[in-house]
A = this chain, B = another copy of it.
Amino acid sequence: MKISILKNVLNESIQHVSKAISSRTTIPILGGIKLDVTHQGVTLTASDTDISIQSFIPVEDDNKTIVQVEQPGSVVLPAKFFVEIIKKLPSQEVQMEVKEQFQTFISSGATEIQMVGLDPEEFPVLPDIEGNQTISIPGALLKNMIRQTVFAISTQETTPILTGVLWNLENDDLKFTATDRHRLATRSAHLEGTEEVKFSNVVIAGKTLNELSKIVPDQNALVDIVVADNQVLFKLDRVLFYSRILDGIYPDTSRIIPTSYKTELVLDTKKLSESIDRAYLLSREEKTNIVRLQTMENGGIEISSSSSELGKVREELDVIDFKGEPLRISFNSKYMLDVLKIVESEQLMIAFTGMMSPIILKPMDDSQSSYIILPYRTTN
């Protein structure tokens, strides 16, 4: 393998694939980035076996030469050092040559680097899952759906299935669900032209979706998603992102979502968020994060919290619309703030079915999201 390549382009590709490298791997080959050079271009691959990312650099882009290939070939280079040194090379022109025993020589300006390379034959082979069910979704929508659900996953490794986000597709409707048993987030989107595709119980690790979000551009360009039995492939422009599907059956959450309410409030999202945030400051000191919400006789609500050591916070909030019975309820303010942070709608509805029953939050101008928080069971 012998090439000359532009530093910025190589660097960008490295940044993409390096998201699949685990710093904790004990298998040396997985701590590396594989380079495959053909006369068409350079393919970079990294994998931690849960996620694999592949990025392709064509020899030419927009009539500009990116790579000059003198000799095709492959090598695996130690990721940590490779990632950092390429960024810091003094010149835009980078020469790379692999010699005997995968010794790799990199030069740029007056800098010469000799790197211990590994045998590319030892690198894991990526699954071939083309030909399976495929859907297409605008990148910006995919990122939004991830952001609006992933915060509710469980971080407890004791229930691995809940560390993922559930994907279901039926009747053109793609739905994401996440829960940690204390709260639940769901977000749906209508995808045209997927009538023939249907899947359920596709669960993708939250941390994988967060890494994917960093690579997907904030644009409406379509991301193709191939869903196979135990793998999902996200196809972006020149980047392929493979993820394992989590093993196990995701619990049925449909029954915990109430369909009728005893009390319904419409509130200003920003004002509610700021108010809960102040009450949270104090509740945090008690470790419980308990904040109380109570309807008042004047038609408003009261938000309050207290700490035996520090004191009390109490404030009143105007209600835009109020239906149903008076109510007093306690909840984990951190969970409420997590929802309020990702709601984009200016107003939101909070609905209750009693002081021991789930609290429902729905953005007013978005019928496709809903959030549930279980209340604290307090005695007073």
The residues of A with any CB-CB pair to B shorter than 8 Å are 78, 81, 84-85, 88-90, 103-104, 109-116, 274-275, 277-278, 281-282, 285, 307, 309-317
- Top 6 A-B pairs ranked by shortest CB distance? A115-B311, A111-B315, A114-B312, A114-B311, A110-B316, A112-B314
Q: List 17 A-B contacts (CB under 8 A).
A: A81-B281, A81-B285, A81-B310, A85-B278, A85-B313, A88-B274, A88-B281, A90-B274, A110-B317, A111-B313, A112-B313, A112-B314, A112-B315, A113-B312, A113-B313, A114-B312, A115-B311
The distance from the CB of A82 to the nearest CB of chain B, in whole angstroms, is 9
The distance from the CB of A140 to the nearest CB of chain B, in whole angstroms, is 31
In the bound complex, what is the Cα–Cα distance between A118 and B113 (angstroms)?
A: 63
In the bound complex, what is the Cα–Cα distance between A307 and B85 (angstroms)?
A: 14
A281 and B84 form a contact (CB under 8 A)? yes
For A113, give its contact among B104, B311, B316 (CB under 8 Å): B311
The distance from the CB of A267 to the nearest CB of chain B, in whole angstroms, is 13
The distance from the CB of A30 to the nearest CB of chain B, in whole angstroms, is 15
In the bound complex, what is the Cα–Cα distance between A103 and B314 (angstroms)?
A: 15
A88 and B278 form a contact (CB under 8 A)? yes
The distance from the CB of A32 to the nearest CB of chain B, in whole angstroms, is 11
- CB contacts (< 8 Å) of A114 on chain B: these are 311-314
In the bound complex, what is the Cα–Cα distance between A311 and B315 (angstroms)?
A: 63
- CB contacts (< 8 Å) of A88 on chain B: these are 274, 277-278, 281
The distance from the CB of A309 to the nearest CB of chain B, in whole angstroms, is 6
In the bound complex, what is the Cα–Cα distance between A277 and B307 (angstroms)?
A: 50
The distance from the CB of A313 to the nearest CB of chain B, in whole angstroms, is 5
B112 and A282 form a contact (CB under 8 A)? no
B85 and A281 form a contact (CB under 8 A)? yes
In the bound complex, what is the Cα–Cα distance between A313 and B317 (angstroms)?
A: 64
The distance from the CB of A6 to the nearest CB of chain B, in whole angstroms, is 19
In the bound complex, what is the Cα–Cα distance between A277 and B310 (angstroms)?
A: 49
The distance from the CB of A117 to the nearest CB of chain B, in whole angstroms, is 9
In the bound complex, what is the Cα–Cα distance between A277 and B111 (angstroms)?
A: 12
The distance from the CB of A324 to the nearest CB of chain B, in whole angstroms, is 23
- CB contacts (< 8 Å) of A285 on chain B: these are 81
For A310, give its contact among B112, B115, B275, B282 (CB under 8 Å): B115
For A111, give its contact among B104, B116, B278, B311 (CB under 8 Å): B278
